[in-house]
């Protein structure tokens, strides 16, 4: 099995292009997502109205769709944005938050997963739920081991022709042929809301910078993992950790990323 590499100039390429990232995401993390994208060097926009999502998706460099606080009208807007992105050749990331928690989420996430996302990024519970159609986990936390989810990720990747990135203590990224495991990160990333959503947004940023889908997934998870490690060393709890993550994302460069990356 070939390994998906960490692109050595990923951050430089991102900052040179400053890609416009269209986010249709949940209310809880919109501020965090926008600030994380700005900190790493992308240009975020949150646009969700049916009247404009198609037009906006087509002029973006990447689209990120996150169902954290989905509702029926937002699902319509997500489908419109995705269709437009696909027509325009704009890559998109799908974050199936709490995919197995309710019937509505199972249906919505199954439909969106079938619309050719470049990357699906979730935790183990979400990837298992998406792969099996079975409810698992109790909400938005990861309760299944990443290991158990690896088979599900490979199946999803092959069946849907997409990259699947599973966040966990060790992240797992696969395109069905190549794989990578990322051992960066800190447990405090799970004690702050929206860090998984941030991983999805960073994946969108790297896609928008021109990395291929598998490379974008690896670069995003290394970036967030390293930022989390730096933040953990500089903070005293989840509040100061959140602040330090943004500082770390802004201060990171490719040399620091390469020095700390734990990709196998």
Residues that bind its own copies (CB under 8 A): 20, 26-32, 34-35, 38-39, 43-52, 55-56, 59, 68-72, 98, 101-105, 138-141, 191-194, 235-240, 242-248, 250-251
Residues with Cβ within 8 Å of 107's Cβ and at least 6 positions away in sequence, in order, are none
Strand order across the 163-167 sheet = 43-46, 20-24, 62-66, 92-95, 119-123, 163-167, 171-174, 179-182
Q: How far is the CB of 236 from its own copies (least distance, A)?
A: 5
Q: How far is the CB of 73 from its own copies (least distance, A)?
A: 8
| Dist CA 221 CA 203 (whole Å) | 8
The two structure tokens encoding residue 20: 């416009």
Specify the residue, 8 or 239, whose C-beta has the smaller distance to its own copies: 239
Specify the residue, 105 or 121, whose C-beta has the smaller distance to its own copies: 105
What's the chain's length in residues? 264
Q: How far is the CB of 184 from its own copies (least distance, A)?
A: 19
Specify the residue, 174 or 198, whose C-beta has the smaller distance to its own copies: 198
Specify the residue, 140 or 214, whose C-beta has the smaller distance to its own copies: 140
Q: With the C-alpha atoms ordered 33, 138, 150, 93, is the resulting torsion angle positive or negative?
A: negative
Q: How far is the CB of 109 from its own copies (least distance, A)?
A: 12
Q: How far is the CB of 249 from its own copies (least distance, A)?
A: 8
Specify the residue, 82 or 263, whose C-beta has the smaller distance to its own copies: 82
The answer to whether the beta carbons of residues 132 and 152 sit under 8 Å apart is yes
């Amino acid at each position: 099995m070939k390994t998906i590499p960490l692109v050595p100039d990923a951050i430089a390429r991102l900052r040179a292009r400053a890609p416009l990232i269209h986010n249709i995401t949940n209310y809880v993390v919109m501020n965090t997502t926008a600030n994380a994208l700005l900190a790493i060097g992308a240009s975020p926009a949150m646009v969700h109205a049916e009247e404009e999502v198609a037009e906006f998706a087509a002029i973006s460099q990447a689209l990120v769709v996150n169902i954290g606080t989905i509702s029926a009208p937002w699902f319509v807007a997500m489908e419109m944005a995705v269709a437009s992105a696909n027509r325009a050749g704009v890559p998109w990331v799908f974050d199936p938050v709490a995919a197995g928690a309710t019937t509505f989420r199972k249906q919505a996430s199954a439909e969106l997963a079938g619309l050719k996302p470049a990357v699906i990024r979730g935790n183990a519970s979400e990837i298992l739920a998406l792969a099996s159609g079975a409810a698992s986990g109790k909400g938005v936390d990861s309760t299944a081991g990443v290991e158990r989810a690896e088979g599900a990720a490979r199946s999803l990747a092959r069946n849907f022709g997409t990259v699947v990135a599973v966040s966990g203590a060790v992240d797992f990224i696969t395109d069905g042929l190549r794989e990578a495991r990322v051992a960066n990160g800190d447990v405090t990333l799970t004690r702050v809301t929206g860090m998984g959503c941030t991983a999805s947004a960073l994946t969108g940023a790297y896609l928008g910078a021109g990395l291929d889908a598998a490379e974008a997934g690896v670069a995003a998870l290394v970036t967030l993992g390293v930022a989390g490690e730096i933040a953990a060393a500089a903070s005293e709890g989840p509040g100061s950790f959140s602040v330090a993550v943004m500082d770390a994302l802004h201060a990171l460069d490719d040399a620091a990323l390469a020095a700390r990356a734990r990709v196998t």
